[in-house]
């Protein structure tokens, strides 16, 4: 049985198409949750992002959306086993088909991002990891329709895809309020971008964040960012 142990919760990941990774850890740690009441985790997978948000905000109600049935079942189990089960639930549905009378003040997503070339032969992993299963324009349009006017949308994407997401966001009526370029190792180019979008930003706040030093040890900023989540000392 594959279990990822966090500081305050554990994640069963035996059946989910995508396992717990650094992207989810970084995104969940960066998301601003102060004053938020209702959150939607799009493509929740194991449920790790939702669990991180629940830990950060004791008043936040979280809904996870997951198209893959086995992953949705596993996320449901992880939510039910957590200390915050009473305010967490999962819906097994395609995000574009999701309907809600509620408008969310926080939406998060670690979306499919790998190149459509050389896709994974496993169709479940391909669906979870490749942009061919996610058309950015309708995805962002859907986000806009269920986001409160004062709400925020957070996601993590490959750095090389930033322009593509920026253009689609502008067309959908979303603005990038914060852009955090993630560097995997000191001296290298950014590999990811954490983006915060809302409907009112004028110019994005740009930052750089590094995960590892040149000797491959974790940077102090990464240790500080994730210290409330990692189950072991880094």
Q: Which helix (H) or strand (E) holds 79?
A: helix 69-81
Return the closest-CA partner of residue 72 out of 102, 54, 45: 45
Q: Which domains does the chain have, with CATH numbers?
A: 3-226 (3.40.50.150)
Q: Cβ distance 234 to 219 under 8 Å? A: no
Residues 6 or more apart from 21 whose CB is under 8 A from it?
A: none
> Who has greater pLDDT, 111 or 39?
39
- Within the chain, residue ranges assigned H as helices are 22-30, 48-56, 69-81, 123-129, 136-146, 162-172, 220-226
Res. 15: pLDDT tops 80:
no
pTM: 0.87
pLDDT tens profile 69-117: 988 999 999 999 999 999 999 999 999 999 999 999 999 999 864 333 3
Res. 62: pLDDT tops 90:
yes
The rounded mean pLDDT for the chain is 86
Predicted pLDDT at 156? 96
Residues 6 or more apart from 89 whose CB is under 8 A from it?
A: 62, 63, 64, 76, 79
Predicted pLDDT at 53? 96
Q: Which of 113-122, 199-208, 210-219 has the highest mean pLDDT?
A: 210-219
**Please, which residues bridge with residue 90 across strands?**
64
Let me know how long the chain is.
Answer: 234
Confidence of residue 40 (pLDDT cuts 50, 70, 90): very high
Predicted pLDDT at 87? 96
pLDDT tens profile 133-163: 358 999 999 999 999 999 999 999 999 999 9
């Amino acid at each position: 049985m594959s279990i990822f142990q966090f500081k305050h919760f554990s994640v069963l990941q035996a059946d989910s198409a995508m396992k717990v990774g650094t992207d989810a850890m970084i995104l969940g740690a960066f998301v601003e949750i102060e004053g938020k009441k209702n959150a939607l985790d799009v493509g929740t997978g194991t449920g790790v992002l939702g669990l991180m948000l629940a830990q950060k905000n004791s008043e936040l109600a979280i809904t996870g959306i997951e198209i893959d049935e086995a992953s949705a079942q596993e996320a449901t189990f992880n939510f039910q086993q957590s200390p915050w089960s009473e305010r967490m639930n999962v819906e097994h549905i395609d995000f574009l088909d999701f309907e809600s009378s509620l408008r969310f003040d926080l939406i998060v997503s670690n979306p499919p991002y790998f190149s459509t070339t050389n896709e994974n032969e496993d169709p479940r992993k391909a669906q979870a990891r490749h942009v061919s299963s996610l058309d950015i324009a309708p995805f962002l349009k859907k986000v806009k329709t269920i986001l409160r006017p004062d709400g925020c949308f957070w996601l993590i994407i490959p750095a090389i895809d930033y322009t593509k997401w920026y253009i689609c966001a502008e067309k959908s009526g979303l603005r990038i309020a914060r852009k955090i370029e993630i560097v995997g190792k000191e001296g290298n180019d950014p590999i990811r971008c954490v983006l915060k979008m809302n409907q009112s930003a004028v110019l994005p706040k740009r930052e750089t964040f590094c995960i590892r030093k040149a000797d491959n040890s974790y940077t102090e900023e990464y240790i500080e960012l994730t210290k409330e989540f990692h189950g072991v000392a880094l």
